[in-house]
Amino acid sequence: MGILIEGRWFGGDDRQIGAQGWEPRQEKIRRKIEPSPTDRGLPAEAGRYHLIECPGCPLSHRVTMALRMKRLDGVISTARVRPVMGPNGREFDLGPGQAADPTIGARYLYEAYLATDPEYSGRASTPVLWDKTERRIVSNAYSEIFGMVNGAFEEFTDIGIDFRPAEHARDLSETMTFLGENLTGAVYRCGFARDQDVFDRYVGRIAKAVAELERRLGARRFLVGDSITEADLGLLACLLRFDAIYLPLFRCTSVRIADQPALCRYIDRLMALPEISQSFDLAASMTHYYRSHAHLNPTGIVPPAPPKGWSAAAESNTTLGRR
């Protein structure tokens, strides 16, 4: 996606994320929206904020699922960037005749970062939450954006689902850490590895994690408690991409999700919710990965999607709780 260095944009294949090996996310812009604003917090207002999504990014996907399940997509507007990251990074998905995103006034995502900080250094990543009033980014930190969508706009929705229930805080935190270290983050450690020992360590972790999740979800409907939490959305975003992207492109060949019956039933249950199924575009996700990482796929060829082990047509008794 290229990188900003002291306010200057540098593109090119050698600047793409992962081209020099794995790197941690750079989440430097952090402000908070609060139901009862303080001197440091921003007010929760309908129509004021704008979520910038990337159809291929799993972290962005998690926030989009939460936004739709909370029925806040009429409260927080959204914009999408195109699946392919070119020499100018992420480009807004513009309509006919548009030269820039009409809300932000930018063609490329990095321009929104510069509007916030003209000397910004770092990746222009997604998700991003934009403030239309102050015309700057509120946050580019996934966890904070997810938390704001989950809890800051309760007065604007009658859906009572809480993806971070306080009574399960410890279990949820431990589960999120387990997923990040052994699956959702481990796939990137494999894909961007530059050392065989590092690759072997993480591909082994993935196989063990999938076996543990298959066992765990063979006996329960959700990862934590009795309802969908952030952990489920994180796991689902990874599982949906695994066989089509992480297995072939990132060489995570130690396991296949289609061979895991409990995980496939789990995917079916969640994908039966239209708020979830309509948030995912496999073709766009595959295009994003296969055509954005030239160091892994220099031809840019996108293969056909493999057969799925789930139907995405199963009946679900999972409902969105109303207050």
> Does residue 179 contact residue 187 with C-beta atoms inside 8 Å?
no
52 - beta bridge partners? Answer: 79, 128
When the candidates are 1.10.150.120, 1.20.1050.10, 3.20.20.140, 1.10.3210.10, the CATH number that belongs to 167-292 is: 1.20.1050.10
* pTM higher than 0.85: yes
- Quick check: helix, strand or coil at residue 136? strand
The question of whether 289 is a catalytic residue gets the answer no
pLDDT tens for the chain, 323 residues: list them: 688 999 999 986 555 655 555 566 666 777 888 776 566 689 999 999 999 999 899 999 999 999 999 999 999 999 999 999 888 999 999 888 888 999 999 999 999 999 999 999 999 999 999 999 999 999 999 999 999 999 999 999 999 999 999 999 999 999 999 999 999 999 999 999 999 999 999 999 999 999 999 999 999 999 999 999 999 999 999 999 999 999 999 999 999 999 999 999 999 999 999 999 999 999 999 999 999 988 899 999 999 999 888 775 444 455 565 55
Q: Which of 54, 57, 252, 264 is catalytic?
A: 57
Token pair for 25: 């996310």
**Are 54 and 27 a contacting pair, CB within 8 Å?**
no
d(CA 230, CA 40): 26
Contact (Cβ atoms closer than 8 angstroms) between residue 89 and residue 109: yes
Nearest to 265, CA basis, from 307, 221, 297:
221
Domain ranges for the chain: 3-156, 167-292
Out of 108, 110, 113, 188, the active site residue is 188
Question: Measured between alpha carbons, how far is 116 from 301 in angstroms, rounded to an integer?
Answer: 36
Measured CA to CA, the distance from residue 178 to residue 209 in angstroms comes to 8
Known catalytic residue at 57? yes
Q: Which CATH number fits domain 3-156: 3.10.450.40, 3.30.70.360, 1.10.10.10, 3.40.30.10?
A: 3.40.30.10
DSSP 8-class letter at 158 = -
Instruction: From 59, 90, 64, 58, select the one nearest 76 (Cα to Cα).
Output: 64
CA 182 to chain centre: 17
Closest to 100 measured CA to CA, from 111, 114, 85: 111
